[in-house]
Amino acid sequence: MRELAYPRLGEQVWRERLPNGLEVIVVRKPYHAKRCAFLAVNYGGMDVRAAAEGGPVPAGAAHYLEHKMFDTEDGNMFQEMSTAGAAPNAFTSENMTAYHFECTDRFYEHLERLLRFVSVPWFPQESVDRERGIIAQEIRMTEDDPDWRAYQQLMACLYGPDHPAALPVAGTEDSIRAITPEVLHRCHRAFYVPANMALVCVGDVEPERAADIARSVLPPEGGTALRREWESPPGLLPVRREARLEMEVSMPMFLAGFRCPAGLAGEALLRRSIVGDLACDALFGESSPLYHRLYAAGLINSSLGGGFDQLPGASQLYVGGDARDPERVLGEITAEARRLGEEGIPEDFFDQLRRADYGGMLRTLDSFGSIAENMAEGYFEGYDYYRFPEVFDTVTKADVEAFLRENVTPERAAVSLVLPETGGQRDKED
């Protein structure tokens, strides 16, 4: 295995690409009692058009597959690992599915269990049908969440309702009816292959021993890595400008989004993420002049917030919260972005933001789970996450000002509104 040192972080990492294509990453943390294993699959909720056998799959297939992987012919692996002293869990995001656990004892036994159950599918019809009701209930719960509805509505505005970024990770009640054992087997065969996965271990872990267990459990043939080939609507204008929805909320909610260029990879993607985060803090963070002006004028409350996301084929800055006059707030946001882009961000304020954001990235190193997820995502996207100090050094105030000037404009904007119910039409599009 290759040993890599990161003097600025005081960290050591061992890495090896196994013959079957699996990337094994071990972040050594000697003298820590807790250990973590994180098996990531480069396959998520957006990947409905990916080249699984037989063509596209229904929305929600990746999430459904995650739910079913814990079931084995001998029982439920989640319960077995929990009884043996581990804390297992899993999640599906737009572009990743991950299975992970933390423990203090019997780490290598748990690691073998994790690799074994994820590599052996077991999808009897009765079990798949029973899970459909559980997932449908989960979907109904999210559909009652105004924040979630505002986000889905915004993504449909920015990219169109059929774009993978606008599809809910869990799917819809209609789409999951089409998910059968054969669909799950197709997705597992196509994407749950070593060449499309990464194993990250964090803690007092012996690198060679972890790699040996992966060699012994996973198939010797690695398959091929997923290639995402869809394209977003041309240009950077939203597909539509505004959508409205009535729900049981006490005051109007808005979520505005601004389409940004997508398609970066490697350290350029990591750098763009840092620039975007700094731009959000400068524009509407709690210490920003705009936030204080809007709050003092009673136009917003403490719910205002947002961020910058980069997904396969989609990239957007978003901001939202409760507001009695959403249109005025959105106008103030775009005007402030233009002012900062043209007049510049005050030097002392930018230095304050840089220190805060860099400190936040350092604090992620306190969480074994965050380390593992960031390292796996970096591997899939072509960069080494532990190089973030060096990448951060290259970001300038001018970069952030240019980002605001170019991207946070009225032309790039779409807004999703969730309004108090009036007894009228519940969904409207403009």
**C-alpha 356, offset from chain centre:** 22
pLDDT band at residue 427 using 50, 70 and 90 as cut-offs: low
> CATH homologous superfamily for 242-429?
Metalloenzyme, LuxS/M16 peptidase-like (3.30.830.10)
Report yes or no on whether pTM surpasses 0.75. yes
pLDDT confidence bin for 429, thresholds 50/70/90: low
Q: State the fold for domain 2-217.
A: Cytochrome Bc1 Complex; Chain A, domain 1 (3.30.830)
The pLDDT tens digits of the residues spanning 294-340 come to: 999 999 999 999 999 999 999 999 999 999 899 999 999 999 999 99
Instruction: Give me the pLDDT at residue 35, please.
Output: 98
User: Is 60 exceeded by the pLDDT of residue 77?
Assistant: yes
Nearest Cα to Cα of residue 115 among 223, 214, 231, 262: 214
Question: To the nearest whole number, what is the mean pLDDT of the chain?
Answer: 94
Residue 232 has a pLDDT of 74
Which residue in 167, 162, 172 sits closest to 138, CA to CA? 172
Reported confidence tier of residue 380, pLDDT bands at 50, 70, 90:
very high
Task: Please tell me the predicted confidence (pLDDT) of residue 428.
Answer: 55
416 neighbors 150 (Cβ within 8 angstroms): yes
Q: Point out the least confidently predicted range of 52-66, 168-182, 235-249, 372-386.
A: 52-66
DSSP H stretches of helix in 51-124? 61-69, 77-83, 107-119
Confidence check: pLDDT of 92 > 60: yes
Residue 423's pLDDT is 66
- Please name the residue that has the structure tokens 């049908």: 129
Average pLDDT of the segment spanning 232-236 = 83
Whole-angstrom Cα distance, residue 253 to residue 89?
32
Instruction: For 236-281, write each residue's pLDDT tens digit.
Output: 999 999 999 999 999 999 999 999 999 899 999 999 999 999 999 9
- What is the DSSP annotation of 166-213? GS-TT--HHHHTT--HHHHHHHHHHHSSGGGEEEEEEES--HHHHHHH
User: Which span out of 65-74, 107-116, 225-234 was modeled with the highest average pLDDT?
Assistant: 107-116
- Looking at the chain, which residues constitute the CATH 3.30.830.10 domain(s)? 2-217, 242-429
- Which pLDDT score is estimated for 424? 52
